[in-house]
Chain A
Amino acid sequence: MKIGRYCVNIMLGQSPVKTLPEKISPEAQELHERKKESGELDKFKIREAHQIYRDNHKKKWKRRRWTTLVLINLLFVFSYALDIQVLEGALTASRFLGFHMADLNSALQVVLAFKVVVINLLIGTVTVLIIWLLLGGRAFCSWVCPYHLISEFAEMIHLKLIEKKIIKNHIFNRKARLYLYIIFALLALVTGYTVFETISPTGILSRALIYGPTVALLWVLFLLTVEIFYSRRAWCRYACPIGLTYGFVGIFSPLKINYNVDACHHEGDCRKVCLVPHVLEWTIKGRAPKINVELGPDCTRCGMCVDVCPTDSLSYHFKGLSKKK
């Protein structure tokens, strides 16, 4: 099975499997062997270095990402509140300086329910499709979606509570997202109504920010409560069809996070901060199929792993533009 195909299956909910040696490139195999031999020598030193790095590392990408996310959402808010008219509408559909934009998942739901494709919607959808093809599919999630941001805050609280052993994390089967994706697509098709939009925390939050608070925010609050006390990042990990829609786009995106196994200590700090740690399975000792390997399409390109990695083994990579090290 090709690596790309394998990564798509992982996104759809398959559990990662230990890569079989015959699929690993000879160069990578040699490196894995060499690492195995050098073995446990500096384990303690490495752990200590990682700890120091974890406590002191500059969260460069997180800062950039949060700034971008807040600015985009503020642009929506101010376009209406202050009438600056730069980005009118909400995240589901908008006009940027007059040009149509449509959220890919919202557009998909409308087309399935309405069964007619309107030219303006098509223009908006294609524009947004091109943008996220270039910028990396699920980058929408981590760089734009307002729910992602507050969910990150909920995650911080969740991790604090875990650390103090007050709660335990509960893991669901990741296939749930695929099932929900199919259910909501079928519901839109059969009922002729965009059922998912009613409970989409992304849409609810975006509209609440722009048009004022709604009762629907209680649903968002409920989701956050579940994420804080019961299951880490549950909505984004196991439910949100928007994430999967952009995930599909991300398959074809030239913008990915590249993993270079060479200098990696295999301490797994990246997997601990990651929303979708299954895309980082390559970073487990002996699993990287090549010296340089791109993370799968479920990756939200948030850059948390890039920030936390002390050896620069993970980096943003734009196919054809940037060189792999």
Chain B
Amino acid sequence: MVAGVTGFSLLNLIPTMTNANPRLRPPGALDEKEYLASCIKCGQCVQVCPVEAIELADIFDGQGQGAAYIDARAQACDFSCDGLQCVLACPTGALTHEINYPHETRMGYARLELPDQCLAMQGAGFNGITRGVEYGGKLRFDKIDRWNPLPLNEQYFDLELCDLCVRLCPIEIRADQCDAGTPPSNDINQCPPNRAIELMLETTPEGRAQYRPTILEGCVGCGVCEMVCPTTAPSIVIDQRATWEQITGGQA
């Protein structure tokens, strides 16, 4: 019996230790190994998240039953709590208490995965409800409601050039507010030091203009761009735990 119980517990350990199924972690997560060691699987982060972005792993997910993760395409972290509630809720420091503001988190780094599919790259606009009416995700739209996140399927967009990944990026929104002299809650500490994403005008070899979503130093990997991207498979995705330094070699 001792062997049986131990053996079963180890079955789950192997995929966990080999990181067979990497997942986006909540803001402030320690390095993967330390994170998995310290997460006590209580779900307090799940409970405080206003957009319910955080989920708990199941037994065959290969990361330990109950470890918290975010499926950005289903529901990204949009920092609508402002104060990193999940970090404050974490009893074990698996989400480090050393960060206080959204722009200080490093969950990952965005990457344009399917440039051919991207509407902006085609110079195309977007008209309608992104992700369709069935989609259950929420985001905060400051200008409509400062405190309560709203269902994405209630928002109608009419854009000549699709820029949803830039327009809805929480870091970009904060940076815009700060540039306008109205930082969130009048707290200048909320102001990101760097921009996160922009559409960069390029000319194709054929001489056509295209707008390339370009990820900048300020990207924290929250996954909102992946969540709101209207293409069937998201054109832009998050690489878990990737950093600006890693991707660009530290060159802006």
Contact = CB atoms under 8 A, between A and B. Distances in A.
A134 interface: no
Contacts of A80: 46-47
B26 interface: no
A196 B9 contact: yes
Contacts of B47: 79-80, 88-89
Contact of B93 (A107, A116, A195, A239): A116
A280 interface: no
A8 to B, nearest CB: 21
A41 interface: no
Interface string B29-50: 0000110111111111011100
Interface string A114-128: 111010110010000
Contacts of B133: none
Interface in B113-140: none
B210 interface: no
Contacts of A218: 59
A120 B59 contact: no
B40 A92 contact: yes
A92 to B, nearest CB: 5
A191 B48 CA distance: 30
Interface string A74-95: 0000011000000011101111
A243 interface: no
B153 interface: no
Given A102-B91, A198-B65, A107 B2 contact: no
A114 B92 contact: yes
Contacts, number: 152
Interface stretch (B10-18, B163-171, B221-229): B10-18
- Report whether over half of chain A's contact residues are helix, strand or loop; otherwise say mixed: helix
Query: A interface, how many residues as a size bin?
Result: 35 or more
Contact of B43 (A113, A184, A207): A207
A124 B65 CA distance: 22
B64 A89 contact: no
Interface in B63-114: 64-66, 89, 91-93
Contacts of B9: 184, 187, 195-196, 198-199
A153 interface: no
Given A192-B37, A193-B13, A214-B65, A183 B91 contact: no
Interface residues of B, number: 36
Given A89-B47, A215-B60, A195 B10 contact: yes
Interface stretch (A60-68, A172-180, A299-307): A172-180
Contact of B91 (A124, A197, A211): A124
Given A199-B8, A204-B65, A216-B65, A107 B16 contact: no
Nearest to B90: A120
A214 B1 CA distance: 25
Contacts of A259: none
Given A93-B91, A183-B2, A204-B65, A102 B40 contact: yes
Nearest to A200: B65
A279 interface: no
Interface string A94-138: 110000101100110010011110101100100000000000000
Given A95-B44, A110-B92, A197-B64, A239 B59 contact: no
B252 interface: no
Given A89-B44, A197-B64, A199-B12, A121 B2 contact: no
A114 B34 contact: yes
A90 B43 contact: yes
Nearest to A210: B43
A95 B38 CA distance: 17
22 contacts: A88-B44, A90-B43, A92-B66, A93-B92, A94-B42, A118-B92, A121-B91, A121-B92, A179-B2, A187-B6, A187-B13, A191-B13, A191-B17, A193-B64, A197-B41, A197-B64, A198-B9, A198-B59, A199-B65, A210-B43, A214-B59, A238-B1
Interface of A: 79-80, 88-90, 92-95, 100, 102-103, 106-107, 110, 113-116, 118, 120-121, 124, 172, 176, 179-180, 183-184, 187, 191-199, 203-204, 207, 210-211, 214-216, 218-219, 234, 238-239
3 nearest interchain CB pairs? Answer: A216-B59, A93-B42, A113-B37
Interface of B: 1-2, 5-6, 8-10, 12-13, 16-17, 33-34, 36-44, 46-48, 56, 58-60, 64-66, 89, 91-93
Given A93-B91, A106-B40, A194-B36, 17 more contacts: A80-B47, A89-B91, A93-B40, A100-B91, A113-B37, A113-B38, A118-B92, A121-B91, A192-B34, A193-B33, A194-B64, A197-B40, A198-B65, A203-B65, A211-B46, A216-B59, A239-B5
